[in-house]
Each structure stands twice: as structure tokens, then as C-alpha cells.
Chain A
Amino acid sequence: MRYAANRPVWMEKPSPLLTVVKAATLATIVALVLFPFLVVVSTSLSTEYAIAQAGGVVVIPTEISFAAYEQVLFGGVVARALLVSIGVTGIGVVLSVSATVLAAYGLSRPDSFAHRPLLFTALFTLLFAPGIIPLYLTVKQLGLLDSYWSLILPTAMNAFNFVIVRTFFSRLPQELFDAARVDGASELRILLRIVLPISKAVVSVIALFYGVAYWNAFFNAMLFITDESKWPLQVILRLYGLQGQQLEVDPNQIPPPQQATQMAIVVLAIIPILIVFPFVQRHFTKGVVIGAVKG
């Protein structure tokens, strides 16, 4: 078998029993993770009849219908919330990644001016969180309540992501920059032309971290936003998916089953992550996260 070649020569051959146990464990783990997703997708695609037949939740779809998706995607609160989430995540990621990469590069050289106090300022935030009430008062004082910026700015800079990028930058060989510096290239130019092209892995990882954080955030919206038309998808999902509120329906049409629409909102909340995740996953173990954690 092919994989046997990867086993070091000194290691004894695994017993057949152990191999079976291992395979069964792996299969169980994969099933435990993926099964809930299957249930959600199947239920969202089912008709009233199929859901009733199955007893409320569908594991394997029998009758497929896209009515639930048509209802939530065309007009109404869910479509609006989807746009809010997309906008907040898009703008947030650009802002966060720029601020983090700039700060990480600016503090990547240990001999630069005021390096230690500035670095300490960033790292000390890892040791405490500001607390709900003081943060609320700050956002209120800054006049950001009920503004989309309240969903972006408070979490825009994350010291952990900063550490990941900074560790990566400070391990790049200095010779890379020296020649450019002798030629009189500005620091910004060095960052954009030399450093960023070889840092795609680390940048895409923190972009995913920030993107997921913005997309998944629900409490900040609950705390800062009272105007329902500005609520992001997660808040709407809680309202209609968990607390069982009914979506408004067109009185001229037969509405799709409530379970299906609820699960369709869940699917909408998962899909962007499922799309982006595989592209970034290979970088996790490529020393990006691990290197930073160990460093």
C-alpha cells in the first residue's frame, strides 16, 4: 500500500486490529462533525410533506424543494440581513488586515524607535478584556450606537492576529530588505513589493480569522444596534431560527414549511465559511499558526 512508505523503517507494522479500531474512530469523528450539517441541509431542501413524514427533521431528503430559499433570498428581512453581514465582513476584513499588517511590519524590527513600549501596548491587551459595560459606554460616547461601524471598529484590531503576522515578518531574512533599503526604497514600498508577495499564506489565514469573526459575531449587534433594519444575519438567525419567530409571508402564496425556512437561514450562515475554508485550511499547518504559537 502507498501509505506504508511514509511509515519510518524502525516502526513496527500496525496490527490489523489497531488499524480497524483507528479507522472506525476516524469515521465516527467525521460522521459526528458532518451529520448535523447533513440534517440542516436536508431539512432546508424538503417539502412540507417530506418534513411531516420524517417527523420534523429530515436526514435524507425525499422530496426536494427550493421554496424555502426563494422565500428567504428574495426580499424581506433575511435578504437585508445577509447584505448587512456581507458589507460588514467585507469592509471589516479590509480594514482589519490593513491595520494588522501595517502594525506588524512597523513593529517587526527590534531596534526601531520606541519598539518596546509600542509592542507592549499591543500585547498587554491579550491579558484583559474591556468588559461589556465599559465597552458599551465607550461606543456610546464615540457616537457609534446604531451605526454599522459599531460592528466593525471595536473588534477591528486583534492582538493575537497581530502576533501571528509579526512573528512571520520578524523571521524573514533581513538580506531581503537590505538591498532595497540601500537603493532608497521606502518602507511602505518594501512592505508592498517585497514582503507581502511572500506572505500570502499568513495574510490569508488572518483574513479568514477576521472574516469569520465579523461574519459570526452576534452579541455586539445585539448590544449596539437597536434599529432592526441594521441587524446582521446572525441576529436574524437567532430570532427566526432559534426563538421561532415567523417570517412574514406573501398572502397570495402557500408558504414553505417553517422548519425549511429556519434551516435555509442556517445554511446561508454557513455557506460563506464552507466556500472559503478549504482554500485557507492548507496554510494552517504550513507553519503559519503553529510557528506563531511556538514562537
Chain B
Amino acid sequence: MTGSTRPPGNHRRLWRHRLRRDRALLLMTVPGLLLLILFQYLPLLGNVIAFQDYVPFLGFRNAEFVGLANFRALFADPAFWNAVANTLIITLLNLLLFFPVPIALALLLDSLFHERIKKFVQGVMFLPHFISWVVIVALFTQVLGGAGVINQFLLRHDMEPVHIIGNASVFKLLLVAEVIWKDAGWACIIFLAALSAIDSQLYESSAVDGAGYWRRMFHITLPGIRPVIIILILLRLGDALSIGFEQVLLQRDSVGPDAAEVLDTYVYYFGVQGGNWSIAAAAGLFKAVVGLILVLSANKVAHMLGEDGVYRRP
């Protein structure tokens, strides 16, 4: 807007003029950007220890550089590959079991016309998103645990108790169930937005033409929210190596690392707890780089499919 009306005069004067004009705005950005630089960008330098033989006592200025030795040690560690496998399995289970739930919930909410009921159900569904993982693990133990409500009920009615909490073979499904309880309601907010953006005239004219509920669902509703569905699937794939860290950390010890170790907990236990700082930093760097590549390629795929993707095409 202002770019075209500005006189084409001296470039440097223009630069100085804009700097003086906008100095108040620039000052306002300082605290926020400083926080991001200190705690998001500065830590990137700390990744240098992935290429060193780091000992906390000596600090990284005095540490010896060892090239890629830490990565070689990491890739030779079966516990690392176990963590990678667990991470990918949980991501896949999440995509299959969690992902459809918010879409279904959004369709259900969208079909309600009683405002009061709709508001109430929505509020109840959003609430668990704001509950901490520590509390959620406590809630699940109270209901599903060995001495929980369900097992009490089963015992009282002379039925076999179910072994859910602390059972390695169902641990990953338990994680997904917890994520559904916590976040499925909240996740439907974005589908609700997409649904409300569909032109209601489309529905009206197709209904007048005799299209029934299911026909409208498959020809208007689902195509209407398709871009959002694709973006969210891609986002999740791009984030495939990140599993809710606090959630797993809190429950890992109940079933042991074979079933429960994911990449982030591997970094924490092997690095921070075990003192293998350099190798664990290598694992963290591996995760960050692969994650970035995944996000960028997921976005590329979105563009190829003709969608906007996470960020717009340049």
C-alpha cells in the first residue's frame, strides 16, 4: 500500500526514515524476540556437544571434538532403534485411532441446533485439553487401574478383573486412549471452523434438488473439510517423531522401556539420567533434523496436491 505511493528518492534516506518512523514498533518486539532467541535459537549452539566428547565438569569449551563418533555409537545402540520403532508405532496408532474421532465429534456438534446444549457439550469436550498429564494419569489409574472403579465393579459382580494399567501389551493403546480423552474434543475446534465456512447455499440448493443427508455429507460436507483434513494428517506425519513426552515419561516405569521408550524419553534417560550427554544430544539432533525434513516434505506434498499446506506457497 505505502510502497507504491512512496517517492522513489534516495534509498538510504528511505531506509533511515522508515527506521525512525517505526522505532517504537521495533522496540515493542524486543522482549518477545529476545526470549525466542535465548530459549529457541541459542540452544541450537548447544548441539555442538553432539560432535564432542562432552563432560559436564569440563564444559563444552574444553571438550574434545570427535566427529561423528557419537552418531556411530547411537546408531549401533539397539535401545535407540527400539525407541524409534515405539515412536513410529504410536504415531501410526494415533493416526488410525485418534484422527477420525474429532472429525466425527465435529460433525455431531455441527448437527445440533439447540444452542444451550451445543455450548454445554462443547465446553465439556474442550475441558480435558486443559488438564495436566499428571492429573490425567491419576484419573485413568482411578478408573482403569488394578484397584480402580472398573475392576471394583467387576470383582463385586464375580467377574475377572482387567489388567490395563501396567500391562506392557496394551500400553500403546492406553496412550492413544488417553490422548483421545484429552484432545479429541479440543481438536474438533478446527473442523468446526471448516464446517462453518461451507457455503450454506450449497446445502440448500442440493436439498431442493432432492439430495438426502448422506448424499450431502459425501458431496458437500466432506469435500468442504478435505483441505483441513489433509493439512492435519500431513502436520501429524511431519511431527511423527514427537509423542507427548510428559505423558510417556509419567508412565514409562509402569511397563518398562521395551514397550514404552520413545525418542524423547530415550534422550532424557540415556542422556540426562545416564550421563551420556553427547550421544543423547546426537539422538536429539537426529530427531530435530529428521523432524524438520519431514515437516518440509509434508508441506511439499500438500502443495503438489494443490492444497495450501502449513505455510503458503511462496
Q: What residues of chain A have their CB less than 8 Å away from a CB belonging to chain B?
A: 2-4, 6-8, 10-12, 22, 25-26, 29-30, 32-37, 39-40, 43, 54-57, 59, 98-100, 102-107, 109, 111-114, 118, 121-122, 125, 127-138, 142, 153-157, 159, 162, 186-188, 191, 208, 212, 215-219, 223, 234, 237-238, 241-242, 262-263, 266, 269-270, 273-274, 277-278, 281-282, 284-285, 289-290, 293-294
Closest A residue to B286 by CB, please name it. Answer: A131
When distances are taken between beta carbons in the complex, the residues of chain B under 8 Å from A142 are: 38
A237 touches B138 (CB 8 A): yes
When distances are taken between beta carbons in the complex, the residues of chain B under 8 Å from A8 are: 200, 203-204
Q: What residues of chain B have their CB less than 8 Å away from a CB belonging to chain A?
A: 1-3, 18-19, 21-29, 31-33, 35-47, 49, 60, 105, 108, 111-115, 117, 119-128, 130-135, 137-143, 147-149, 152, 155-156, 181, 185, 189-190, 192-193, 196-197, 200, 203-204, 207-208, 212-213, 242, 245-246, 249-250, 264, 267-268, 271-272, 277, 280-281, 284-285, 287-288, 291-292, 295-296
A30 touches B121 (CB 8 A): yes
A127 touches B207 (CB 8 A): no
When distances are taken between beta carbons in the complex, the residues of chain B under 8 Å from A130 are: 39-40, 43-44, 46
A106 touches B28 (CB 8 A): yes
The distance in angstroms between the C-alpha atoms of A113 and B197, with both chains bound, is 35
When distances are taken between beta carbons in the complex, the residues of chain B under 8 Å from A218 are: 132-134, 246, 250
A99, A131, A223, A293: which contacts B284 (Cβ < 8 A)?
A131
B288 touches A131 (CB 8 A): yes
B149 touches A39 (CB 8 A): yes
B41, B45, B190, B267: which contacts A132 (Cβ < 8 A)?
B267
When distances are taken between beta carbons in the complex, the residues of chain A under 8 Å from B264 are: 132
The distance in angstroms between the C-alpha atoms of A40 and B213, with both chains bound, is 42
A99 touches B295 (CB 8 A): no
A57 touches B149 (CB 8 A): yes
- Given known A22-B108, A40-B139, A237-B135, contact A6–B200 (CB-CB < 8 A): no
Give the one of A137, A191, A217, A218 with max B CB within 10 A: A137
Expressed in whole angstroms, the minimum distance between the Cβ of B85 and any Cβ of chain A is 20
A289 touches B26 (CB 8 A): no
When distances are taken between beta carbons in the complex, the residues of chain A under 8 Å from B60 are: 137
B284 touches A121 (CB 8 A): no
When distances are taken between beta carbons in the complex, the residues of chain A under 8 Å from B271 are: 132-133
- Given known A11-B207, A132-B264, A212-B130, contact A113–B22 (CB-CB < 8 A): yes
A294 touches B193 (CB 8 A): yes
When distances are taken between beta carbons in the complex, the residues of chain B under 8 Å from A241 are: 134, 138
The distance in angstroms between the C-alpha atoms of A282 and B25, with both chains bound, is 31
Closest B residue to A219 by CB, please name it. Answer: B246
When distances are taken between beta carbons in the complex, the residues of chain B under 8 Å from A289 are: 189
- Given known A130-B39, A131-B47, A131-B287, contact A56–B147 (CB-CB < 8 A): yes
The distance in angstroms between the C-alpha atoms of A128 and B147, with both chains bound, is 41
A10 touches B204 (CB 8 A): yes
Closest B residue to A266 by CB, please name it. Answer: B138
Give the one of B27, B125, B139, B213 with max A CB within 10 A: B139
Expressed in whole angstroms, the minimum distance between the Cβ of A48 and any Cβ of chain B is 15
B36 touches A157 (CB 8 A): yes
Expressed in whole angstroms, the minimum distance between the Cβ of B149 and any Cβ of chain A is 5
When distances are taken between beta carbons in the complex, the residues of chain B under 8 Å from A129 are: 242, 288
B132 touches A215 (CB 8 A): yes
Closest A residue to B285 by CB, please name it. Answer: A131
A281 touches B142 (CB 8 A): no
When distances are taken between beta carbons in the complex, the residues of chain A under 8 Å from B120 are: 30
- Given known A133-B281, A134-B281, contact A242–B29 (CB-CB < 8 A): no
The distance in angstroms between the C-alpha atoms of A157 and B42, with both chains bound, is 14
* 20 extra interface residue pairs, beta carbon distance < 8 Å, beyond A112-B26, A269-B134, A274-B127: A3-B114, A30-B120, A99-B35, A102-B28, A103-B31, A122-B32, A125-B41, A130-B43, A133-B284, A137-B60, A138-B42, A138-B46, A187-B24, A216-B132, A217-B132, A241-B134, A242-B134, A269-B132, A270-B135, A294-B193
Expressed in whole angstroms, the minimum distance between the Cβ of A115 and any Cβ of chain B is 8
A40, A57, A106: which contacts B29 (Cβ < 8 A)?
A106
When distances are taken between beta carbons in the complex, the residues of chain A under 8 Å from B185 are: 29, 33
Closest B residue to A114 by CB, please name it. Answer: B26
- Given known A142-B38, A290-B192, contact A57–B152 (CB-CB < 8 A): yes
- Given known A102-B32, A113-B26, contact A237–B134 (CB-CB < 8 A): yes
Expressed in whole angstroms, the minimum distance between the Cβ of B234 and any Cβ of chain A is 13
B189 touches A127 (CB 8 A): no
A128 touches B3 (CB 8 A): no
B133, B277, B285: which contacts A216 (Cβ < 8 A)?
B133
When distances are taken between beta carbons in the complex, the residues of chain A under 8 Å from B131 are: 216, 270, 273
